[in-house]
Amino acid sequence: MATSIFPGEAPDRPQEECAVFGVYSQTDDVARLTCFGLQALQHRGQESAGIAVGDGDTVTVTKDLGLVTQVFDEGVLSALKGNLAVGHCRYSTSNNANPWASSQPHISAIDDELVALAHNGTLVDTRALKAFLVSEGVQFRSSTDSEIACQAIGHFTRQTHHLREGIKATMEAIRGAYAMVLASPHALYAFRDPNGIRPLCLGELPDGRGWVVSSETCGLDIVGARFVRDVEPGEILRIGEDGLSSSHGLPAGEHRGCIFEYVYFARPDSTIDGQSVYESRRSMGRELARESAVDADLVMGVPDSGVPAALGYAEESGVPFADGIVKNRYVGRTFIQPTQEMRQMGIRIKLNPLPSVIAGKRLVVVDDSIVRGNTSKQLVSMLRAAGATEVHLRISAPEVTWPCFYGIDTPSQDELMAATMSNEQMREFIGCDSLAFISVEGLRASVRSEHRTFCEACFTGRYVVELPDYLKKTSFLAKEQ
């Protein structure tokens, strides 16, 4: 379910951690291009934003809490001059003790030279690496795995005397999911974990003016860059005055891109591994109609990511599609809490049904996922209050029964509704007339990417990168340990 209807509540779907963007150009305003790229990627994180610029002598970083347009204005951008830039927008978990210090890009000093790192993903068990760096005199300002990676690159570069070798040594020392971009004073680097769990792509500016890297192709589109290819798993790209070069920091493993990118995280106008995200979602809806048909009068999608799947469901089932739920697009992340009386009234802060469309109708309502079920319950209640005679909930992702440790903020397993309830128990809690999820096989069939293998750990419990025992003990249900 999109996010909580009430500001400040725990979201009712998995939340992406962040997005990265980078530009190298001798002619363009790289900070401005990066700002636009981050705006295109804003859906991946709304709590902080930052840009680092390299000018040949040093690296300058500006970052703060808030949306991209809140952090950057004409005055700030005009002060960020250089030939290369990296940017980041972040979604952080609510228990972050120091959100400003955790905002990115992170800075590391290599002798008299600075580098800045932006990271999308999550590293698995960095405790030993951090302890080693602390023993070497490295000081940390945050508790993020991203800063650990940044400081590790600085440490290993001082040892090897080559930044690319420092990146390679860091890739050998870390495990997990990462798509990273790094700015030095002279060059832009981009690199990706050996399984390619998190997305990262390369584009070229018109007339050979420079190169762009982005978490999604929509970031290339907004700055007019032509998509060239995806960054390969385990690859290190270096872009500088002498052009673009490629090497491998680690041998590529089996490709395991996160399948949830197609379900929800990515923008519908992006393409990942050769597959349109929008067309994947339409296919998920068609597959849902084949797997779990029901007699109904209308099909509706929960804005925004549920709409393409609802269109596919209507197309396959022959049940008409209708816009019956209005989304308030100007309600962002906020610390303003509604009163308990407002909650009890079912205040329509983010979603509001249309009684003129819904009244007297049997509805199929398509959404992308359910984590806790609270927002689904609230939405079904609002649809019934608007006059729906039946509400059949269809979900274009399988049941989320396992937490993610690769860059998505999902809770521990005991907080996942599908891990603790049967389908009938979930249906009763939500209050819908029927509840059905797409099968894992159906989801795979809907995503026709160049790579036919995915990370599906949140659905299957089969983790791409082995987890340390302490994570299993603290995040899994006792019966699953």
Known catalytic residue at 18:
yes
The whole-angstrom separation of Cα 299 and Cα 314 is 6
Q: Which helix (H) or strand (E) holds 351?
A: strand 351-353
Q: What is the mean pLDDT of residues 189-204?
A: 97
- In the chain, where the domains are located: 15-253, 272-451
Judged by DSSP in three states, 165 sits in helix
pLDDT band at 156 (very low <50, low <70, confident <90, very high): very high
Q: Which residues are annotated as a binding site?
A: 258, 305, 367-368, 404, 455, 458
Give the C-alpha distances (Å, rounded to integers) separating 417 from 363, 374, 460.
23, 10, 15
What integer pLDDT is reported at residue 2 of this predicted model?
Answer: 40
Q: What is the mean pLDDT of residues 299-322?
A: 96
Q: What is the mean pLDDT of residues 192-217?
A: 97
429: number of Cβ within 10 Å: 16
What integer pLDDT is reported at residue 13 of this predicted model?
Answer: 52
What integer pLDDT is reported at residue 375 of this predicted model?
Answer: 86
Rg (CA), the chain: 23
Q: What is the mean pLDDT of residues 249-254?
A: 94
What integer pLDDT is reported at residue 240 of this predicted model?
Answer: 97
Q: What is the mean pLDDT of residues 217-244?
A: 97
Q: What is the mean pLDDT of residues 442-459?
A: 91
Judged by DSSP in three states, 89 sits in strand
What integer pLDDT is reported at residue 328 of this predicted model?
Answer: 79
CATH architecture, range 272-451? 3-Layer(aba) Sandwich (3.40)
What integer pLDDT is reported at residue 372 of this predicted model?
Answer: 86
CA dihedral of residues 287, 291, 292, 298 (deg, nearest 10)? 30
pLDDT tens track for 115-155: 999 999 999 989 999 999 999 999 898 888 999 999 999 99
Asked if domains 15-253 and 272-451 share a fold, the reply is no
Q: 0.75 cut: is pTM over it?
A: yes
What integer pLDDT is reported at residue 3 of this predicted model?
Answer: 43
What average pLDDT does the chain have? 90
- Sign for the CA dihedral angle at 210, 214, 217, 219 comes to negative
Judged by DSSP in three states, 427 sits in helix
Q: What is the mean pLDDT of residues 65-75?
A: 95
Give the C-alpha distances (Å, rounded to integers) separating 363 from 249, 295, 358, 434.
51, 9, 8, 11
Q: What are phi and psi of 441, to 5 degrees?
A: -65, -40
Q: Which of the pair, 448 or 347, is modelled with greater confidence?
A: 448
Percentages helix, strand, coil for the chain, rounded to the nearest 5? 35, 25, 40
Q: What is the mean pLDDT of residues 366-372?
A: 93
The whole-angstrom separation of Cα 202 and Cα 40 is 15
Q: Which residues are annotated as a binding site for [4Fe-4S] cluster?
A: 258, 404, 455, 458
The whole-angstrom separation of Cα 461 and Cα 402 is 6
pLDDT band at 1 (very low <50, low <70, confident <90, very high): very low
67: number of Cβ within 10 Å: 18
Q: Which CATH fold would you assign to the domain 15-253?
A: Glutamine Phosphoribosylpyrophosphate, subunit 1, domain 1 (3.60.20)
Q: Which of the pair, 340 or 88, is modelled with greater confidence?
A: 88
User: What single-letter amino acid sits at 51?
Assistant: I
Residues ≥6 apart with Cβ < 8 Å to 320: 297, 298, 299, 314
State percent of the chain over pLDDT 90.
Answer: 78
What integer pLDDT is reported at residue 298 of this predicted model?
Answer: 98
41: number of Cβ within 10 Å: 29
What integer pLDDT is reported at residue 261 of this predicted model?
Answer: 94
Selecting among 18, 89, 218, 432, the annotated active-site residue is: 18
75: number of Cβ within 10 Å: 7
What integer pLDDT is reported at residue 102 of this predicted model?
Answer: 83
Q: What is the mean pLDDT of residues 2-12?
A: 44
Residues ≥6 apart with Cβ < 8 Å to 90: 17, 18, 45, 47, 48, 49, 102, 103, 104
The whole-angstrom separation of Cα 171 and Cα 468 is 18
pLDDT band at 14 (very low <50, low <70, confident <90, very high): low
Given a cut of 70, whether residue 228 has pLDDT beyond it is yes
What integer pLDDT is reported at residue 349 of this predicted model?
Answer: 72
Q: Which residues are annotated as a binding site for Mg(2+)?
A: 305, 367-368
State percent of the chain over pLDDT 70.
Answer: 90
Angle at 473 between CA 471 and CA 475, to 5 degrees: 60
pLDDT band at 334 (very low <50, low <70, confident <90, very high): very low
pLDDT band at 340 (very low <50, low <70, confident <90, very high): low
Given a cut of 80, whether residue 11 has pLDDT beyond it is no
Question: What burial class does residue 381 get, using C-beta atoms within 10 Å of its C-beta: 0-12 exposed, 13-18 middle, 19+ buried?
Answer: middle
Q: Which of the pair, 141 or 94, is modelled with greater confidence?
A: 141
pLDDT tens track for 463-477: 999 999 888 888 888
Residues ≥6 apart with Cβ < 8 Å to 342: none
User: What single-letter amino acid sits at 106?
Assistant: H
Q: What are phi and psi of 471, to 5 degrees?
A: -70, -40
- Token pair 């009163």: residue: 339
